[in-house]
Amino acid sequence: MDLGIAGKWALVCGASKGLGFGCAQALVREGVHVVINARNAEVLEQAAIQLRADGAQWASAGSQNQRAPQVIAVAADITTAQGREAVFAAAGGPGRDFDIVVTNAGGPPPGDFRDWDRDAWIKAVDANMLTPIELIKATVDGMASRGFGRIVNITSSAVKAPIDVLGLSNGARSGLTGFVAGVARSKLAAQGVTINNLLPGKFDTDRLATTLGVAATKTGKSIEDVRTAQQAAIPAGRFGTTQEFGAICAFLCSVHAAYMTGQNVLADGGAFPGA
Ligand code: NAP
């Protein structure tokens, strides 16, 4: 299926690896130009090299003379005002003419809520609530004026099924979820702009590997045993892949998803037990 978004411009945050990279790759494979962002410049550049190769392949596979999508890498901390300014400046000015924005950054650390002070909460809210809101604010009016826009916020299945040790994430992401539920149904909905949240369950990324390692240390089991037990608890019997996640993201960004807005789309192999 042609997603109808070749030639559009996307900003994909937290895109040097993991779920953000999966989203950037799926978009480039549809001919979308991308500005990718993460903090570590070296890892980000490796990702850009891979994406340029993917884009060249897309261009050569087409029947017409298609130009490969551009890939611009901006190393910056997206959770800071300076980081967002750097991304927009490198990409051509405030708000640029982004047609698609995928918001993403690292999740807050797990722990006991008794240990979290105000600074810990402000950091979590900054990264996982206020940063996506700032990115939405900077881009949606331009999208509306052009009659097309797609925002996809990478949040977490913990929004639907909160996990006790992830209190910082539960709280900050729930704030974003409430905000999105309102703004997605504003005038923007009739102006071709959709805003949705994409909720990962367990996907095989570096972040998941870290949490498996922590669980193994805590329980005295091997990482492989923890991995097997966690996969067995998912109806699909496995973790998701970043390619699968990216494909869902690209569909939400497509012309075909124009009538989907304000949704929380869960991708978790059936792990959430509700209807
Ligand atoms: P990952 O593999 O660790 O990748 C995170 C990406 O975000 C990297 O490119 C990282 O690069 C970048 N990043 C982190 N902090 C950033 C910042 N402040 N500014 C710019 N880029 C930043 O993680 P992931 O598994 O893809 O997870 C992505 C998001 O989904 C996280 O918020 C995570 O909590 C959430 N999530 C993941 C899962 C899962 O199963 N994987 C499940 C539920 C929720 P740098 O470190 O170089 O900046």
Task: Identify which of 66, 3, 69, 60 has the alpha carbon closest to the alpha carbon of residue 34.
Answer: 69
Contact 252, 198 (CB under 8 A): yes
Instruction: Kindly report the backbone phi and psi dihedral angles of residue 265, in degrees, each rounded to the nearest multiple of 5, phi listed first.
Output: -95, 115
pLDDT at 97: 86
DSSP state of 110: P
Spatial contact of 99 and 139, defined as CB atoms under 8 Å apart: no
Give the count of beta carbons closer than 10 Å to the beta carbon of residue 21.
27
Cα–Cα distance measured from residue 55 to residue 70, given in angstroms and rounded to the nearest whole number: 8
Identify the pLDDT of residue 63: 67
Residue-level pLDDT at 187: 97
Task: Show Cβ contacts of residue 258 under 8 Å, excluding neighbours closer than 6 positions.
Answer: 192, 194
Rounded Cα distance between 208 and 156, Å, is: 13
Reduced to 3 states, what is the DSSP secondary structure of residue 217?
helix
Phi/psi of residue 228, each to 5°?
A: -60, -45
What pLDDT does residue 7 have?
94
- Tell me how far apart the alpha carbons of residues 24 and 74 are, in angstroms, rounded to a whole number: 14
Q: What is the pLDDT of residues 44-86, one digit of tens each?
A: 999 999 999 999 999 999 767 789 999 999 999 999 999 999 9
- 205 C-alpha to center of ligand 1: Å? 9
Residues with a CB atom less than 6 Å from ligand 1 = 13-20, 37-40, 43, 77-79, 104-107, 154, 156, 200, 202-203, 205-208
Angstrom distances, CA of residue 99 to CA of 49, 139, 151, 229: 23, 8, 9, 41
Tokens of 126: 């900054």
Residues in the chain: 275
Consecutive sets of 10 residues in the chain, 275 residues long: mean pLDDT of each? 95 98 98 97 98 96 84 97 92 75 94 96 98 97 96 97 94 98 98 98 95 91 96 98 98 98 98 94
Residue 92, classed as helix, strand or coil, is coil
Q: How far apart are CA 28 and CA 117, in angstroms?
A: 41
d(CA 171, CA 6): 36
Q: If you take atom 7 of ligand 1, which residue's CA is the nearest one? A: 14
Return d(Cα 256, Cα 30) in angstroms, integer.
13
**d(C-alpha 153, C-alpha 241), whole Å:** 18
> Ligand 1 atom 14: the closest Cα is on which residue?
106
Distance (angstroms) between ligand 1 centre and the Cα of 200 equals 11
| pLDDT (0 to 100) of residue 62 | 78
